[in-house]
């Protein structure tokens, strides 16, 4: 038997035995993992002569469906393959091995350039598609999205979506129910788009109508959406009451822990919460970046503009999982499902995150305190 530290390299043929293995669905104890020619196998009873025991949880890497930037790069500002590579590298260091590069509301040509970059980078850097967040959103709930670029859903967007789908790119699009015409969400879904609802001041009735048209998820629940009140549930109430997925930013800044606990307990269907970082260039990069020509600063863990308003998130997926376990009273298994299984299922990729189908280089070993992470097979 050999002892192993978090950063050790495991030899082919060894059986690695962590505290637990997350297999893509369940957290399992008493199992090991062996690798032969890049083929991963779970082993119930290990050969102790070739056993490497390590502390922590061994898991497929995380899947983040909302990544605006990282490594000093904002996708809107650098919509290129090179920019995508830098973003991917920054997030990989913290355990995210699959992600959707996210382009927010901007000039049509910027959105188009981002789409073209994702097409050229297809199947590289852990890119699993694209998330187009805006520009078909509510002016009243646009947040940091620039009002000059907000517009109704039009043929230009349908043409862009068709180009992405023709090239085999999984596509998510965040829209506000009030910014689209009846039937347009159905048309997007018919083209294979995963439609998310967000940045919206809609009523619950408008929101439910969008769900009936095929919208499947909500973007950063509670943030940039009409709140739940005693007489009008708004987008927030409709989201929590629905069987649709809801993504959440768990950084302790964007949403109160109490409100997050309420949503996690109240969802009527299990496994409908998805952790997202909504990360900006400061993750793995400098402490400031430019958004629409305005400098955004990192101050006390918050990304704020000159007026002190929030402008994105500075959090990693590992930190989000730790927050969910330690502050929101969620089990490690449930938290890992929020970061891996649930987003993969939403995007139709649940089989891809099963541990036996994961490339060894994309397996992560998470420390017992949820504050360290390594890639033991790299």
Element containing residue 286 per DSSP (H, E): none
Residue 35 — pLDDT band, cuts 50, 70, 90? confident
| Predicted local confidence at residue 13, as pLDDT | 66
| Segment among 33-42, 71-80, 167-176, 187-196 with least mean pLDDT | 33-42
Residue 2 — pLDDT band, cuts 50, 70, 90? very low
Chain segment 281-334, per-residue pLDDT in tens = 999 999 999 999 999 999 999 998 877 778 899 999 999 999 999 999 999 999
Three-class SS state of 313: strand
| Predicted local confidence at residue 30, as pLDDT | 87
Question: CB atoms < 10 A from the CB of 304, how many?
Answer: 15
Spell out a b/e string for 306-327, using b for 16 or more CB atoms within 10 Å of the CB, else e.
Answer: eeeeebbbbbbbbbbbbbbbee
Residue with the larger pLDDT of the pair 48 and 155: 155
Spell out a b/e string for 187-198, using b for 16 or more CB atoms within 10 Å of the CB, else e.
Answer: bbeeeebbbbbb
Chain segment 150-160, per-residue pLDDT in tens = 999 999 999 99
Residue 51 — pLDDT band, cuts 50, 70, 90? confident
Cα torsion through 141, 299, 305, 177, rounded to 10 = -10
Q: CA of 89: how far to CAs of 124, 127, 196, 319, in Å?
A: 11, 11, 26, 17
Sequence-ordered list of residues with C-beta below 8 angstroms from that of 33, at least 6 positions apart, any chain: 15, 16, 17, 18, 21, 40, 41, 42, 43, 58, 355, 363
Residue with the larger pLDDT of the pair 319 and 45: 319
| Lookup: tokens for 177 | 């129910």
pLDDT surpassing 90 at residue 37? no
- Averaged pLDDT score across all residues of the chain: 94
pLDDT surpassing 70 at residue 45? no
Chain segment 357-369, per-residue pLDDT in tens = 999 999 999 999 9
Residue 129 — pLDDT band, cuts 50, 70, 90? very high
**CATH 3.20.20.140 in the chain, residues?**
62-355
Question: CB atoms < 10 A from the CB of 140, how many?
Answer: 12
**Per the CATH hierarchy, to which homologous superfamily does domain 62-355 belong?**
Metal-dependent hydrolases (3.20.20.140)
List active site positions: 278
Residue with the larger pLDDT of the pair 224 and 378: 224
To the question of pTM greater than 0.85 for the whole model, the response is yes
pLDDT surpassing 70 at residue 354? yes
Mean pLDDT for the stretch of residues 266-286: 97
pLDDT surpassing 70 at residue 76? yes
């Amino acid at each position: 038997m050999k002892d192993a530290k978090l950063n050790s390299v495991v030899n082919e043929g060894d059986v690695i035995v962590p505290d637990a293995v997350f297999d893509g669905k369940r957290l399992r104890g008493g199992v090991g993992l062996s690798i032969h020619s890049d083929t991963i196998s779970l082993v119930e009873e290990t050969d102790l002569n070739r056993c490497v025991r390590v502390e922590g949880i061994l898991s497929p890497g995380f899947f983040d469906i909302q990544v605006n930037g990282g490594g000093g790069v904002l996708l809107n500002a650098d919509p290129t393959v090179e920019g995508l590579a830098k973003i991917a590298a920054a997030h990989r260091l913290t355990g995210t091995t699959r992600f959707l590069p996210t382009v927010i509301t901007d000039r049509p040509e910027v959105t188009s350039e981002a789409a073209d970059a994702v097409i050229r980078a297809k199947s590289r850097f852990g890119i699993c598609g694209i998330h187009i967040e805006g520009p078909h959103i509510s002016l009243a709930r646009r947040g940091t999205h620039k009002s000059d670029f907000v517009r109704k859903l039009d043929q230009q967007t349908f043409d862009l979506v068709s180009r992405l789908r023709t090239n085999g790119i999984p596509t998510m699009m965040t829209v506000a129910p009030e910014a689209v015409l009846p039937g347009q969400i159905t048309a997007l879904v018919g083209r294979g788009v995963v439609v998310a609802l967000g940045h919206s001041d809609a009523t619950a009735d408008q929101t439910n109508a969008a769900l009936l048209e095929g919208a499947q998820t909500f973007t950063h629940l509670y943030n940039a959406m009409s709140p739940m009140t005693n007489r009008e549930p708004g987008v927030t109430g409709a989201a929590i009451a629905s069987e649709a997925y809801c993504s959440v930013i768990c950084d302790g800044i964007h949403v109160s822990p109490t409100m997050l606990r309420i949503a996690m307990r109240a969802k009527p269907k299990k496994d409908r919460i998805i952790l997202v970082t909504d990360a900006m260039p400061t993750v793995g990069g400098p402490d400031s970046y430019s958004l629409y020509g305005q400098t955004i600063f990192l101050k006390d863990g918050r990304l704020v503009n000159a007026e002190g308003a929030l402008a994105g998130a500075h959090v990693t997926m590992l930190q989000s999982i730790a927050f969910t376990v330690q502050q929101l009273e969620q089990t490690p298994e449930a938290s890992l499902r929020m970061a891996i299984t649930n987003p993969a299922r939403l995007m139709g990729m649940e089989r891809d995150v099963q541990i036996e189908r994961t490339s060894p280089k994309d397996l992560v070993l998470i420390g017992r305190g949820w504050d360290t992470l390594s890639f033991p097979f790299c």
